[in-house]
Amino acid sequence: MKSIEVCFSPELIHLHEVEGKIVVVVDIFRATSTMVAALASGVKEILPFADLEACRAMQAEGFLIGGERNGLTAPGFEMGNSPVAYLSGEYAGRKLAMTTTNGTQAIEKSKGAAQILIGAFPNLQATVSYIQDKGLDVLVHCAGWKGRFNLEDSLYAGALVKSLESTHQADEDGALAMKSLFEREGHQLKSYLSKASHAKRLQNHGIESDIDFCLTLDLYQDVVKVDDRGFLVRI
């Protein structure tokens, strides 16, 4: 059996070992859900940025630029961070440079892992099958909210721990706690997570449609990975 553990925030990643592991970065509302949706809708590849201005500068290189801070589109950016905005296929073939409040920071802080995968509910089963194929230990890296625990990323971690229980041992308390939470609440994701603080933030911004999309299971059979160049690609 391999092992699986959960890191609840990028501020805690220094307490975990990433080397030799598959790190699954998750930001359910909305960064990783948007990354999976954009690539499934034809976007060629995505370059994530922690820094807003470095991302903005990619427009001059012909990239589509997507930026979000505090749930809102960053000033002067073509795209915000809405997964629904990509579903029409309008941006097929484009390269996307993307920066968000938490999700792209978590990708940055996962460097050094054997592999970095992008986790979201719309590609949960595809990620599970890929991990079981690879046979490596797993660390679920929750993006959280500005360094704090959040419910939606942690519940996704519980879904992954539960789905991998035949191949990966959950022998640390974070993984055990989230597995129990998913066993209790996993059948009612939408009603349970509508209480989450960031869901409320998005509702206050009138962005309900994204919430529904982000909580839809297994829309895509895509595994999304960070390649050797640092780009997010479908594999």
User: Where do contacts with ligand MLT occur on this chain (CB under 6 A)?
Assistant: 27, 29-31, 68, 71, 81, 100-103, 143
Minimum distance from residue 222 beta carbon to ligand MLT (Å): 19
- Which residue's Cβ has the minimum distance to ligand MLT? 100
Check residue 123 and report its DSSP letter: G
Structure tokens at 11: 């501020």
Minimum distance from residue 163 beta carbon to ligand MLT (Å): 23
Minimum distance from residue 36 beta carbon to ligand MLT (Å): 12
Q: Which is nearer to ligand MLT, 4 or 226 (CB)?
A: 226
Q: Which is nearer to ligand MLT, 137 or 210 (CB)?
A: 210
Q: Which is nearer to ligand MLT, 4 or 232 (CB)?
A: 232
As a 3-state breakdown, the chain gives helix, strand, coil percent values, each rounded to 5, of: 40, 20, 35
Q: Distances from the Cα of 150 to the Cαs of 145, 201, 214, in angstroms?
A: 6, 13, 15
Integer Cα distance of 120 and 159 in angstroms: 10
Minimum distance from residue 136 beta carbon to ligand MLT (Å): 26
Q: Which is nearer to ligand MLT, 103 or 174 (CB)?
A: 103
